[in-house]
Amino acid sequence: MWDDLIPIVEAGLDRYLTCAETCPRRLEEAMRYSVEAGGKRLRPVLVLMACEACGGAIEDAVPASVAIEMIHTYSLIHDDLPAMDDDDLRRGRPTNHRQFDEATAILAGDGLLTLAFEVIARNIQPAEVAISCVADLASAAGVEGMVGGQMADLEAEGRGLRAEGQEISASATSTLGPQLSALDQLEEIHLRKTGRLLRSSLTMGARVARAEPATVELLDHFGKCVGLAFQIADDLLDVTGDAARMGKGLRKDADHGKLTYPGLLGIDESRRRAESLIDEARCSIAALGDRGHRLDAVARFILERDH
């Protein structure tokens, strides 16, 4: 479905990860290690597809697609750190800090985050489009988006509350509330932790194609629905999936006492919720017609994937 787009993304990543002599070799190695670990490349592929769906040239969207994959990868490196989720494996290989060391992993993450903005600034034209991509990506990745979502997630798990003398925050308190509140909270965390970044894939692609604001909005809504459905599917795979395919220990979320959709709603209701979100996503891009057929296929794929 997007086999032809993957090589474009990989070539872009390789190109923009080729650092000058002044970058310490070990740092470049650590950044490449995690970026080249692969994964589905969902976010960068969505950037290219959104650009195509809005009538733009796919090549013009490569810098934005590379930037979002760099940001996604940095977030995985930092999330895996001992002070955060403390994971040893990611995509079947040792996590960055296990392969290198903690200091290198922190810096590799910082380096990727910073490089993402540089890639956009130096390679997207005209300046108005580049700056709107920087704004989209920064707010999606920042304290009101991904970083804030990770913080809320840690607080929900009660980890952020261990330090002495700190009050329990409002968002953490609500995990102690009734089920509805827990579901709202779960959705809010996902909307921020993974949803905002995924939405910015779509808006950046649309902006590179110089789409009208109304079209950017439609794609943003598509991204919101697909992002939530993707998370529900991920939770379902954690319960029902196969360890070898997933490349990580299964039932990790449940073992950590994390909130999950199947944990709150049961498997069947979670599946129904994902299906209805995908329907909503597909409706929101119907107006794009044939040009949107690949985005439509991605939406359907979310429900069918097994890893």
**Cα 228 to Cα 45: distance, rounded to the nearest angstrom:** 18
Binding residues for a copy of itself, total number by CB under 8 A: 63
User: Residue 253 or residue 275: which is nearer to a copy of itself going by CB?
Assistant: 253
Shortest gap between Cβ of 42 and a copy of itself (angstroms)?
21
Identify the CA nearest to 74 among candidates 26, 131, 16, 116.
116
User: Residue 9 or residue 197: which is nearer to a copy of itself going by CB?
Assistant: 197
- The two three-digit tokens of residue 52, written as one number: 């195509």
First CA to last CA distance, the chain: 16
Residue matched to tokens 């999950």: 260
What part of residues 272-301 is at the interface with a copy of itself (CB under 8 A)?
A: none
Q: Do residues 9 and 65 make contact, with C-beta atoms less than 8 angstroms apart?
A: yes
- The two three-digit tokens of residue 209, written as one number: 């194609």
User: Residue 8 or residue 208: which is nearer to a copy of itself going by CB?
Assistant: 208
**Cα 2 to Cα 179: distance, rounded to the nearest angstrom:** 39
DSSP H or E stretch at residue 94: strand 93-94
Residue from 106, 183, 237, 239 touching a copy of itself (CB under 8 A): that is 106
Identify the CA nearest to 98 among candidates 114, 76, 70.
76
Interacting span for a copy of itself (CB under 8 A) from 46-54, 140-148, 173-181, 199-207: 140-148
Q: Does 147 bind a copy of itself (CB under 8 A)?
A: yes
Interacting span for a copy of itself (CB under 8 A) from 43-51, 58-66, 118-126, 179-187: 118-126
Contact residues toward a copy of itself (CB under 8 A) are: 19-20, 22-28, 31, 78, 81, 83-84, 99-104, 106-107, 109-111, 113-115, 117-118, 120-122, 126-128, 130-132, 134-135, 138-139, 141-144, 147-148, 150-152, 154-155, 159-160, 162-163, 166, 169-171, 192
